[in-house]
Amino acid sequence: MSKGVLSMDGEEIKKALGINIKKLRSIRRYSQAELAEKADISIIYLSNIERGQKFPKPAIIAQLSKGLSVEVHELFKINSEPNALPIVEPTDNKKMLKRLSKTMTRRVNNTIEDVFKIFLK
């Protein structure tokens, strides 16, 4: 069960902000470098915000919301479902593409072998 906004302390708010920024960044398929450039902040600072280690000043929050194309309040939304927004990590995409590539290559090779067997009879 999630806490209400009124019962959250500063550390929990910092972590929630970081999680929301990371989720929104992932949904838009931005790398940290891309969002950092759009928000005019360093990648290290963005990483610290996403991990809940730093809490940005209001001007930086505004830049992040603009970079993510959302209203500021969207960055602070507290969802009752912790996984309401999916996170798609670039490394997961690479793994899926590699697995798919291997599967497709295997299927194509099997099909070619079947075709050769038919013609070589």
* Mean pLDDT value of segment 102-110: 69
* Mean pLDDT value of segment 78-83: 53
Please report the pLDDT score of residue 91 as a whole number.
Answer: 55
Please report the pLDDT score of residue 118 as a whole number.
Answer: 72
- Structure confidence by residue, pLDDT tens digits, 91-105: 556 666 666 666 667
- Structure confidence by residue, pLDDT tens digits, 55-68: 999 999 999 999 99
Three-state SS string over 15-83 comes to HHHHHHHHHHHHHCCCCHHHHHHHHCCCHHHHHHHHCCCCCCCHHHHHHHHHHHCCCHHHHHCCCCCCC
